[in-house]
Amino acid sequence: MTTINGEVAPGFEPVREAFAANFTQHGDIGAAVCVYLHGRPVVDPWGGVADSETGRPWAQDTLQLVYSATKGATATAAHMLVERGMLDLDAPV
């Protein structure tokens, strides 16, 4: 059983359940996620191990490589700009 630490605001319990399922159903050994809504953290769980060789537990401040994770954030930001009329995807470059 993986220990899950951190806080989840009322109404966001399904996110914590999905996070826990990553360990029990999908083989994750350590992870963290933090979601802010209106400038406040509403989901901030972490759990498992940070180092499978030593068994060091995952902490709130454990560093993690994210590799290409910014592609999704960049696409989201671009589409938000389109929605606000600040970016035209069809404009010539």
The CA distance from 63 to 53, in Å, is 16
The answer for residues whose C-beta is within 8 angstroms of residue 56's C-beta and 6 or more apart is 49, 50
The CA distance from 92 to 12, in Å, is 42
Catalytic residue annotation: 68
| Phi, psi values for residue 16, rounded to 5° | -65, -40
The CA distance from 30 to 33, in Å, is 11
